[in-house]
Structure 1
């Protein structure tokens, strides 16, 4: 495995804009890895929202209430203040695990920047819209051609160069495209073309993410995910489609082995 933090593969979910499905995706990836048998820890750096931490707390409560064993990563939430606590959490959670999943705030944050420097896989979720694209690049208002990378893209570029010089490691930057149902086809095509142009300039991979499904938000109080099929009983078409999205997303992330079967049929 890559060596971001002592042999553990560090996956950082980062986007300085909110509302992109970042925490929901981070939770599903962490639980997906745990469900396949990997040893997983998770660190929530957003001490204000605490979406990831609360999701896992809800999940633990559901497991106790139902008596069902639900694969859940070891997790904690940072206080947003202490550098010593951040370093201690990073080291402790990285001990004896295969993956460390870090969720960051939807804003500029010093701990998020430090987390990115430790990443082996950096995931930036974004919705398929030019509002979200503006985080990573700017386009001409008439032609929709990319005119320049954004400050955020330049920051990640410099971070990747520094990491390569420091220990020879490569940060795999993945832009995760969450599909919005209400965007019309022509605009979606323009966004797609802009992402393709920019990916060649700054070196990220663009992969399919999750759709704007109410079902993902509805599962938060119980801490469940689309992986917990026995909790649903009979699954409807929306559940099946959402599970397929997760399969495709996890495959496209191309995370290290062990490649045990994901998601029992």
Structure 2
């Protein structure tokens, strides 16, 4: 099996934008020339799997060409897979992961919004864990517990402990840790006071348990309106343009470029990231 780089997008809270981050990182890597394998562990929702199915259908219907990943489904439809025992599900994941890693330079895994055996296993395989969070204390609760009076951070949350355990096991078995990046995602232009409070707690927890804080993707319509076509802003060009392009789309492309650079994707693409428009 090749030494593929493994990127896991995860946390244990739904609605934080994991699949949105995953599909944008995937297309950025694909346009960087990376041989990419993708695994969607959200067995009920299957957002990333649906995205790439939409992509294949739209490209074929419109006679267009765009890079595609090596998709390794776990076998069977989502609802049936969701009913597998933990042991069976982990076995399916292991088989699919090994097949993807044998063909790809990078394996990108999208995880469900909950604590599952497959999600914990995927976190243990990661070289890089990317955790998006919305800009609120509701989402911060997934990372750490704050005092309701002082708002000071009392302790890490259960998800932080999951990542911590994965990092400890990696350090013990391979002598190196897992890079963990928390993304401040879907930033809104208002609520500056609340954002400052959240930011202070995120930074305090980052120093305490050792993750990096990176830029996420703002709450832009473009990130949602291209999903039905299986496309992202990384795909837009003079040849592929299912919607009119505006200056907002140019800004979104630069946002994705900045995120990709922060995560070190340029090292995986040989310095090739999204070209500026």
Q: Give TM-score scaled by structure 2 length.
A: 0.90
Aligned residue for 2:177, secondary structure, equals: coil
* Matched residue, 1:244: 254
Consecutive unaligned residues in structure 2, runs of 5 or more: 75-80
- The correspondence for 1:192, drawn from 163, 175, 199, is 199
Task: Give the CA deviation at 1:148.
Answer: 1.2
Is 1:208 matched with 2:215? yes
2:146 equivalent to 1:135: no
Rounded to whole Å, the distance in 1 between the matches of 2:256 and 2:203 is 22
Q: Displacement of 1:97 after TM fit?
A: 1.4
Match of 1:178 in 2: 185
Which contiguous aligned blocks of 4+ residues in structure 1 show a shift greater than 4 angstroms? none
Partner Cα distance (1:77, 1:180) in 2: 32
Question: Do the aligned partners of 2:170 and 2:177 also contact (CA within 8 Å) in 1?
Answer: yes
Deviation at 1:114, TM superposition (A): 0.2
> Map of 1:109-120 to 2, 5 A cutoff?
109-120=116-127
The equivalent of 2:162 in structure 1 is 155
Task: Check if 1:34 corresponds to 2:41.
Answer: no
Structure 2: distance between partners of 1:259 and 1:161: 30
Within-5 A mapping of 1:1-265: 6-78=2-74, 79-80=81-82, 81=84, 82=88, 83-181=90-188, 183-230=190-237, 231-232=240-241, 235-255=245-265, 256-264=267-275, 265=277
Query: What displacement does 1:260 show?
Result: 3.4
Contact 2:2–2:103 (CA<8 Å) still a contact in 1? no
Q: 1:47–1:77: 8 Å Cα contact kept in structure 2?
A: no
RMSD of aligned Cα (Å): 1.6
Instruction: Give the paired residue count.
Output: 261
Separation (CA, whole Å) in 2 of partners of 1:157 and 1:175:
14
Aligned-pair CA distance for 1:216: 1.2
Whole-angstrom CA distance in 2 between matches of 1:263 and 1:62: 22
Worse-superposed segment, 72-81 or 117-126: 72-81
Aligned to 1:12, what secondary structure does the other structure show? strand
Tell me, yes or no, if the aligned pair for 1:37 and 1:260 is still in contact at 8 Å.
no
Secondary structure of the residue that 1:169 maps to in structure 2?
coil
CA contact (8 A) 1:173 1:205 kept: yes
Report SS of the residue matched to 1:18. coil
The CA deviation at 1:234 is: 5.2
Contact 2:73 2:96 in 1 (8 A): no
Measured after TM superposition, the shift of residue 6 of structure 1 is: 4.2
Tell which deviates more after alignment, 35-44 or 148-157.
148-157
Q: Distance in 2 between matches of 1:58 and 1:228?
A: 14
Per the TM alignment, residue 107 of structure 1 is displaced from its structure 2 partner at its CA by 1.0
5+ residue gaps in structure 1?
A: none
- Give 1:122 shift: 0.6
Aligned mates of 1:258, 1:54 — CA distance in 2: 25
